[in-house]
Chains A and B, each alone.
Chain A
């Protein structure tokens, strides 16, 4: 594939400019040679003018490209570039002058051709200097540009372009039109020269340097201008290239801008420290407002805070004390003050009336900076800034100065801004850390949820004489509901449902204890009441004082078709009697586990035994079902549960469970119940 090399305007224009200059030199030398030998060389001055204009434009293009490439360079570098070009132009011109001085009256010194060559060299260098400096001025003028300035500059460039061609009209004579044109360009140059916004951004040192460079530019430009005038009086030059409106206009513009810059920089010197101070404050502020990165800590922000505040207020000493309320404040970032001095000053601060008063407001909502006087040998003024993070007073920043009343209103203002920003940074950092911690807790809870779900039986054992279906859902990640079924022997099963008081993590722990108790005691093959009495003893030792567990325990015999149950404060079992075709709640007296933690418990527990028939349905549930509320705050209640079973008793256990839950969800209007854990267990007896 053919690659088209990207055109480099800078290099090409430079090359062509040199060629043009050589052509210009050649034309002029030929013309001079012809004149010297009384021959008509046929070289009209217009050829020179045309070549001159081409040269101007090419140099212009070259420098515009070069300056644009150096967009990033600072002001001082740019001014130095202009100054150095001026130095070179002036230096070479001086060398030429020196050469003639050394030659004296020799033949070589009067050779018109050589003189013409040097004239062209000087012309070229002057042009380079003026145009390059113009481009640099452009860069400076357009710093922090607005639309008007851009338009003005564009107009100026058009005027410059027009002025190049002016020579064709006035035929290189010095007439009123020329003066008018020059005056116009000068005025335009003055208008543009008020754009000096770059100067305040120089530091004090840079200002001095730029003053030096500007002096060099002014000297170089004056020298070159004087030299140019001397040429226009010379008779040896056939076609004067330098008495050109364009060049003279540039002279004027470059000089005026250099002079303005010089004067403004000079008068800016005394106030530059103020500007620098403001800039430092802005940078400090930015550093303080940057959020603390991971891996960093609050200390770094406080470190920046102390530094920033000290430089903003020219403080002579400072320290930071944290956790003042604890009595022994932690001292951080002690600056330019000894421990002994600090303690002395601290005691004097305690004596300040304003400080005493501010201590009363220990929460820190309305704490104000205190600007006080000290009767101290070393430090006569003190500024105490409270640090308040998340509405909590965490400490003080204390700044000291040797002079009396050293902190003015502006300083107090900027320092409280710094302190405020630092506190926000610290607050953000703490919040972020908290969020990360919370995230970890959430993960832990997810693990707990998985563990707890595995505590509920994944498969419910049963035989061919009954079906069983269960379902449990916790309100939070983990809950306190429990159900289980264990086969004691062929055709004999132990069944349990339980609900730990409260919900969430504490309930979940108790639920796992409950499971442990169940699986231990179930092996003893106890009567339901015995089971509950033993479970009460075991659980009373591990339940908190205000916690209890409600449960109902069943012994099931599928051969004898008998159910023996005992209730410990749990919701009454709903039983569908197929012979009556009606569901009823089984009433058995009982008492929750852990409520009476003595042998007295036994008297509250009774057993109930009955025979079941095929097609009977038993529904065990926890109070989360009964207390499920709809949006009006009405509970689902016992009656609706009974009605649901009456409607769907003919279905299989799994289907009955589904239908009942549908009823509950229809009632509450959502697909989950959020207030409490809820569980349901449906047992359907078969023939």
Chain B
């Protein structure tokens, strides 16, 4: 089960993920991110506090946007990953490409730091 809530805050777009991302619902995640990119958002936050599991298909979704983010200078931060999910990002090496922060405060800081 995956629940996705998207909202536009004043200075950034927020996507809240709850549950599990697997092959069956990774398309929903893709649609959510794609929607944010098409809405010309330049600052994106992903709240993964309640994300319990992510499969390789879900990781593939994040991965596929890395180039887009770079080209369009979109700043993109995921925060609140639990240890297990963080480990998955780490093993794959995605932590070297995506900014991962423990909480929202750190994430926002990262977003507007540079």
Contacts and interface: CB of A to CB of B under 8 A. Distances in A.
A165 interface: no
Given A503-B23, A676-B55, A591 B92 contact: yes
A595 B84 CA distance: 21
Contacts of A591: 92-93, 96-97
Contacts of B93: 568-569, 589-592, 595, 604
B82 to A, nearest CB: 12
Nearest to A601: B93
B83 to A, nearest CB: 11
A569 B97 CA distance: 13
Interface string B31-65: 00000000000000000000001011101110110
Contacts of B66: 595-596
Q: Is the interface of A mostly helix, strand, loop or mixed?
A: loop
Chain B interface size, under 10 / 10 to 19 / 20 to 34 / 35 or more: 20 to 34
Given A571-B91, A595-B63, A502 B96 contact: no
B93 to A, nearest CB: 3
A545 interface: yes
B110 interface: no
Contacts of A504: 23
A550 B57 contact: no
Contact of A569 (B22, B23, B91): B91
Given A499-B56, A502-B23, A676-B55, A546 B30 contact: yes
B92 A550 contact: yes
Among A572, A591, A592, A595, find the residue whose CB has the most chain B CB atoms closer than 10 A.
Answer: A595
A568 B26 CA distance: 23
A571 B61 CA distance: 19
Contacts of A491: none
A675 B26 CA distance: 15
B91 A572 contact: yes
Interface in A568-608: 568-572, 589-592, 595-596, 604
A504 B57 CA distance: 12
A407 B11 CA distance: 66
Contacts of B108: none
Contacts of A568: 93
Contacts of A501: 56-57, 59-60
Nearest to B88: A623
A418 interface: no
B60 A547 contact: yes
Given A591-B92, A595-B97, A502 B64 contact: no
B94 interface: yes
Contacts of A635: 84
Given A546-B60, A548-B60, A570-B91, 14 more contacts: A501-B59, A501-B60, A502-B23, A502-B55, A504-B23, A545-B64, A546-B30, A546-B63, A548-B92, A550-B92, A591-B96, A595-B63, A595-B97, A627-B55
Interface of B: 22-23, 26, 30, 53, 55-57, 59-61, 63-64, 66, 84, 91-94, 96-97
Interface of A: 499, 501-504, 545-548, 550, 568-572, 589-592, 595-596, 604, 623, 627, 635, 675-676
Interchain residue pairs A-B with the least CB separation, the first 8: A591-B93, A501-B56, A546-B64, A546-B60, A569-B92, A545-B64, A502-B57, A592-B92
